Chain A
Amino acid sequence: MELEEEVPKQSYSEKEKGEIFNQEFLPHIHSMYNFGYRLTLDRDDAKDLVQDTYLKAYRFIESFQKGTNAKAWLFRILKNSFINDYRKKSKEPAKVDYQEVETYYNSEEVDRQITPDLRVESLKDMIGDEISNALNSLDVDFKTVIILCDLEGFKYEEMAKILDIPIGTVRSRLHRARNLLKEKLSEYAKSMGYNKA
């Protein structure tokens, strides 16, 4: 079962379960809802996904060690629920070819500036929904790493655990994701005439 960790099963009283749930799980509900919304792009689906995640977290609460990283644990459950339950139901596009991503990252090309032509000044002009829309438009795997890292402040190691991928892959996916985001924003900037000198 995906939620099992190396940690031995805990044994909690009903009262303890309630405390863990209220004090360690529930405070993350806003982050969880935002993550769910960014993944599904639908407010009702996001609600279902978060609700599902919390019910699972409660059901498997004895796999959770009190006082450890509840947020990472919850994000992991939500991500897995999304892949296993939600994604199957909807017609999500096929997964990204990571082989290609890895090759890209390891090539010499990356040190040359192949990043899109985007300037700090044009970024500063994006005061509306441009950034949010650009993030939403990325493939699920790419937006996920940006959300986890830039929005939620998870460390590479935590991200590796949440996503079940090696740290090297976290780094390369993050790099690729940021470039894609910049590409989108550079398109916006161009279409709005920001980049004109």
Chain B
Amino acid sequence: MNNPINPFAKPDQQKPSCMEMLQTILDGQATEEQKQYFKMHMDHCMPCYKSYDLDMSLKQLVQSKCCGGAAPSDLIEKIKQQIEQKSS
């Protein structure tokens, strides 16, 4: 069986680690080719398969739980006032 070229390989042909591949996927920085490759990789790599779900859930939870809501309503007014004072 011939091994497909790993689209995650670095310019120096160094083999990327599972963790590096996973991170690229997770953070939406992967190309289509890389995504395809990683899908197949997950079929036979249990650590990646497990980490993918956990890391993805965690990322989504951070997004939904840590966005913090709106800035205080008087903040914009205060900033605008200060700028007007300084430029006049």
**A pairs with B:** yes
| Chain A residues at the B interface, C-beta cutoff of 8 Å | 14, 21, 26, 29-30, 32-34, 37-38, 43, 47, 50-51, 54-55, 58, 110-113, 115, 118-120, 123-124, 126, 129, 131-132, 135, 146-147, 149-151, 153, 155-156, 171, 174-175, 178, 181-182, 185
Least CB distance from B17 to A in Å reads: 5
B41 interface residue per 8 A CB criterion? no
12 A-B residue contacts at CB 8 Å? A30-B68, A33-B75, A37-B68, A50-B79, A51-B82, A55-B82, A113-B47, A113-B51, A123-B57, A151-B63, A175-B23, A185-B58
In order of increasing CB-CB distance, the 9 nearest A-B pairs are A34-B68, A33-B71, A131-B65, A150-B62, A54-B79, A29-B71, A150-B59, A30-B71, A110-B19
Report Cα–Cα, A34/B67, bound state, in Å: 7
| Chain B residues at the A interface, C-beta cutoff of 8 Å | 17-20, 23, 27-29, 47, 50-51, 53-55, 57-59, 61-63, 65-72, 75-76, 78-79, 82-83, 86-87
